[in-house]
Homo-oligomer: A and B are copies of this chain.
Amino acid sequence: VSGQDEGGNAEREARAALMRAAEPATPGLLRLVHQAGAVAALEHVLSGRPALAAEDVAGGGLDSEGMRLRIDSSSGRRDLERAATAGARLVIPTDPDWPAGLADLDRGGLGCLGLYVRGRGSFVDRVEGAVAIVGTRAASDYGRGVAADLAHGLAIRGRATVSGLAFGIDAAAHQGALSAGVEQAGTVAVLACGVDMVYPKSHSWLLSRVLDCGLVVSEHPPGAAPHRARFLIRNRLIAALSTGTVVVEAAARSGARSTARYAATLGRAVMAVPGQVTATTSTGCHQLLRDDPAVGLIRGVDDIIEQVGAIGELAPRATGATSVRDQLDRVATRVLDAVPVSRAAPSERIAVTAGVSIDRTVVVLGQLLSAGLVDSATSGWRLGAQERAARATRRGERAGQDAFDLDW
């Protein structure tokens, strides 16, 4: 299996056993592995010696007795074999295919002993520049549509979408990435169960499609079931494997907000898509945007690139269209406002309406004539054909409203 070498097998088997023995991010175990190495840590656990420190147990730490209930000395080997049967490999921190960004988890005390990876291609290449798109399972049509659009836009820009294979926003994000076609699509599903399991079960079709052109990743041993707490701790991996996390829709108490918190802790960009304030599906997003001015308001994929992109990748800022009208000075604007739409008026009457001297009015009317904004007739001045047409169109678009009904 790629990513494994002979000399690393004892370490790899020990990590596999420890990943089965303890829940992810168990502080006491992470400390022990950091200090003594995985092989010695496993020996310690299997030896039946008491916990290293009492507070580790109280804090949910190194509970050797609890760990021994789950493994024996051959558990690691068996899990690696079982993973291989499912087409998965265990990638550990010393492997070249271990994404560098995962090291940020160690600094946060949220370390990861290894990751089972299933699917095609290099793990490191796949998550290079990736973006997490997450949100509520109970998503609206709006949220699902935005999630899919964002993931598709990232895919055609060569960036994978990382998400959790759940209903709602997660599924829409994976699907949006997949919709870019096998060549361009890239998406990574991080599971809260074994990589050989499917959760939710009805998403087995989606998991198969993700495997066509992406990766399925988990820190749980093969066969592991999804427990409630595993979803929350899983979210730190979604955050760590991405350059930034976009929350598309989230209720007030949503796991997506935990992913956002992990992203902030890990120094990743945190982004949120706004929605209608009357929609509970956007409550969590609005809270994120209000809580921290560093949270980016995302309107489309260009806004994501602006937050996570390399220099030179920045998208041009969207700006309102400008017109000749915008470039007129105050006097010219007043004169133009005073010119009748269709029935021509003499310059003297226009000057009175505008409150501008007759001499200056005549000069300005000449300039407006050059710009095509007014027409000169024998009886005086009226709006140019283009302006007349534009006004008629606006009137038509808002039937029943007054002629001045524009957004000033």
Contact = CB atoms under 8 A, between A and B. Distances in A.
A253 B356 CA distance: 27
Contacts of A256: 407
B229 A199 contact: no
A228 to B, nearest CB: 5
A362 interface: no
Interface string A261-287: 000000000000111111000110011
Nearest to A356: B66
Contacts of A253: 320-321, 407
A165 to B, nearest CB: 11
A260 B277 CA distance: 20
A21 B355 CA distance: 7
A337 B274 CA distance: 33
Contacts of A232: 408
A319 B60 CA distance: 28
Nearest to A292: B293
A221 to B, nearest CB: 11
Interface residues on A, range: 35 or more
Nearest to A274: B274
Interface stretch (A73-81, A91-99, A136-144): A136-144
B355 A22 contact: yes
Contacts of A229: 330, 333-334, 337
Which of A22, A235, A320, A360 gathers most chain B CB within 10 Å? A320
Nearest to A27: B330
A299 interface: yes
Given A146-B278, A407-B137, A357 B65 contact: yes
A278 B351 contact: no
B277 A299 contact: yes
B404 A60 contact: no
A251 interface: yes
A132 to B, nearest CB: 15
Contact of A278 (B23, B145, B231, B355): B145
A240 interface: no
A289 interface: yes
A245 to B, nearest CB: 15
Contacts of A275: 274-277
A137 B318 contact: no
A60 B329 contact: yes
A98 to B, nearest CB: 25
Contact of A254 (B57, B355, B407): B407
A334 B23 contact: yes
Nearest to A143: B276
Given A354-B66, A355-B21, A408-B258, A402 B300 contact: no
A296 B338 CA distance: 38
A252 B359 CA distance: 37
A186 B250 CA distance: 36
A194 to B, nearest CB: 14
A356 B286 contact: no
A21 to B, nearest CB: 7
Given A21-B355, A333-B228, A360-B66, A299 B320 contact: no
A319 B291 CA distance: 12
A204 to B, nearest CB: 12
Interface string A310-346: 0000000011110000000111011001100000000
Nearest to A303: B290
A116 B167 CA distance: 59
A406 interface: yes
The 5 A-B pairs with the shortest beta carbon distances in the complex, nearest first, are A60-B330, A274-B274, A231-B408, A255-B408, A293-B293
